[in-house]
Copies of this chain bind each other. A is one copy, B any other.
Amino acid sequence: MKYEKKMKKKSAVTMKEVAAEAGVSLGTVSKVMNRIPVGEPYRRKVEDAAKKLGYKINPVARALRTNKSGIIALVLPSIRNPFFSALANEITCILMDRGYQAQLMITNFDPDGEQKCIRAVQENKADGVIALSYRPDLIVDESIPFVTIDRFAGGHVPCVASDNYGGGQMAAEKLLSLGCRKLLFLRIGSTVSGEPDKRAAGFESICRANQIPYDMVYLHDGEPEKLFDEYLNDHFKDGVFGYDGIFCNTDYLAIRAVDHLRFLGVKVPEDVQIIGFDGITDYISGKYVCSTIVQPVREIAATAVRLLLGEGPAEKQALVILPVSYASGGTTKE
């Protein structure tokens, strides 16, 4: 009886049967199963036929044969920030839809953690890495497809980012169009250079072009959050705040500024209008937490995956900048 137990209940479906069902050649089925690019309609046909017949690949055998694991590593500083969790959610869903596995790696904002993740990825022979990196000197084996978000490392590593410069311009233009006449840019934290630096540059360009007074403040030493509150205190005199428009580098900071100014007795948006950056929405209400420059999360995710898989015309571009939009969230007059 023993050998009967080992017999398969149903004989396994073969690639040949899948090819017949899909009406394509055996070679096409093999390509799809081994994730070698074929035309989109062929891929769909083969996938549908494989699903219908219940064809199962042996991933370990495939990994040995093709040297491809089907695993894409997704390296993020955290997924507790709503912007990061939305990004991870989108990228994971897109990868799953394409038959890949998303291996989530979290660095807890530790640059050494980042390099450790990359080493682990290389040892595990992932097919590629999408990283929101805080470490510009990351060492990555060139043989592994690698796409960064927000941190353009140069040459052979493509990067996807929002139009940070354009977003900074948009914020300044919006504040000016809403009547602001003395502007402030506020940023704290990480001094690692990256695409988000361009927010300040874009903002400043519009202030200069319009010849209106403005200050650019970047707090990164000691306890930046304390310095941030102190800066607001220092510019509040005789019941009046020294600026009527503020652009903060993130929504997180914008909400901090709103709360602190209201605590001081300043009316937002009546006396001071504030715009953040990211487009974070409140989980409960779904509304923007402040007036903001919205990053196109879904498009960033889709573009990162396309770049990684070497698809489409964007493949040859090293830095892909995606358009942002303005959304009012109650901290500006509109």
A contact residues vs B (CB 8 Å cutoff): 56-57, 59-60, 63-64, 69-71, 74, 78-82, 85-86, 88-89, 92-93, 96, 101-106, 108, 117, 120, 123-125, 251-252, 255-256, 259, 280, 283-285, 289
Contacts and interface: CB of A to CB of B under 8 A. Distances in A.
Contact of A80 (B56, B85, B108): B85
Contact of A60 (B60, B82, B251): B60
Q: Select the residue from A59, A124, A284, A285 with max chain B CB neighbours within 10 A.
A: A284
Given A59-B125, A124-B70, A259-B285, A89 B93 contact: no
A226 to B, nearest CB: 15
A252 B284 CA distance: 6
Contacts of A259: 285
Given A104-B102, A104-B104, A106-B93, A283 B82 contact: yes
Given A88-B79, A89-B80, A103-B103, A123 B56 contact: yes
Given A59-B123, A123-B57, A124-B70, A81 B283 contact: yes
A120 to B, nearest CB: 8
A198 B259 CA distance: 38
Contacts of A56: 123
B252 A283 contact: yes
A256 B283 contact: no
14 contacts: A59-B125, A74-B104, A79-B79, A80-B86, A82-B82, A88-B104, A92-B104, A92-B105, A96-B106, A96-B117, A96-B120, A252-B284, A259-B285, A284-B289
Contacts of A280: 283
A37 B119 CA distance: 24
A14 to B, nearest CB: 16
Give 8 closest A-B pairs by Cβ, nearest first. A85-B85, A104-B104, A255-B284, A59-B124, A101-B103, A102-B104, A60-B63, A92-B104
A254 to B, nearest CB: 9
A88 B79 CA distance: 8
A117 to B, nearest CB: 8
Contact of A284 (B79, B96, B123, B256): B256
A93 B89 CA distance: 17
B64 A60 contact: yes
B85 A79 contact: yes
Contacts of A71: 71, 101, 103
A289 to B, nearest CB: 7
A123 B57 CA distance: 7
